[in-house]
Each structure stands twice: as structure tokens, then as C-alpha cells.
Amino acid sequence: MTRIHFAADHGGYDLGRTLAARAEAAGFEVVWHGADELDPGDDYPIFAVRVGQATIADQDAGTDAFAVLVVGEAFAGVVAANKVNGARAIMTDSPRAAAEARGVVDANVLVIDGVAYQESAWLILSAFVTAGMTQTVERGRQILQIEEFENAGTIEGWAIQLEPEQILRTYE
């Protein structure tokens, strides 16, 4: 079962709670990391870090997990979430782009603007958590280069060498 870590600041609290309830009703395991009640004085950075760290810890443990952060200023939430080592946070207003972000960069944190329409936000969230990463050598190499820079501050150019039998084959 896919686990979704949710949090929201004061600017996205109502939508965040609604999306979390809807995800739970759809069969996802939901973990809430936000405030228990609306707090007009809370700030987004702590929530971005919480959901990012929880998602990375789960993924490192082999759990299928994502994060959804709903905040008043989505672009700020993206910046904060991307400070978590291993987090690849994105924001989008399109289900197609959400699925593409999963396929291209294996995004694992979705940031939604708190004033988004509920139905649009739900469609974006659904596309995000149900899409998969494109399984190609090139995509894997690109992700490794991002992670290398994140961890070592350099990109030496990972050269992934696979035997022909290790490459995913698709049949039409």
C-alpha cells in the first residue's frame, strides 16, 4: 500500500486536510505531519522538512511513499522541501506534468498551492502518486548525477554500465 505523508501550513490547512481524507478513502495509507488544528501563526518550512524526511526514511526502508505539502505559497514550499537530502519536490497545476515529473526525475514530494481548487488538486495528486519512473538507463544515470551533487557537491559523471539482459525491455 502506498503511504502518503501530508502536511499543510495555515494557508493550505483546509485543502490539505480534505486531500488527506480523500486519499485515505481512496485506499492510501495517510500520515499527517501538520498541526492538529488550524494555526494562523504556523510556518511552512517545518512542515516541508517533516514530510520530506518522512518520505525519504520510508523510501530508504523500501516503502512506497510520497509526500504532499499544501501551503499558502507553493513555490516557497518547493524550495524548503528540496533542502531535504533525497527530496525531489515539484509543484504543478497539471496532472500530466505531475505524472511526467515522476517519470523524469522520480519526484517524491508534491507541493500544492493552498488556494487550488479541490478537484484539480485531487487529480494532480492522483496522477502524481500513481505514475511511475521511466525505467531507462539514461533516467537512472541522471538521477544518480543529481544525488551525487547533492551528497558530494560534484558531478563526476556516473557511468552506468549494464549488460544487455539488465536493460528493461518492452514488447508491443
Q: What's the grid cell of residue 100? A: 511526467
**Helix/strand number for the chain, H first, E second:** 6, 5
Q: Poorest-confidence range of 11-15, 21-25, 88-92, 164-168?
A: 164-168
In this predicted structure, the answer to whether residue 171 has a pLDDT above a threshold of 50 is no
pTM of the complete model: 0.85
CA angle 126, 130, 132 (to 5 degrees): 140
For the chain, domains (ranges, CATH) are 3-130 (3.40.1400.10), 137-166 (no CATH)
Q: Quick one: pLDDT band at residue 42, thresholds 50, 70, 90? A: very high
The band of 169, judged by pLDDT with boundaries at 50, 70 and 90, is very low
Q: What is the largest CA-CA distance in the chain?
A: 56
CA atoms within 13 A on the CB side of 106: 20
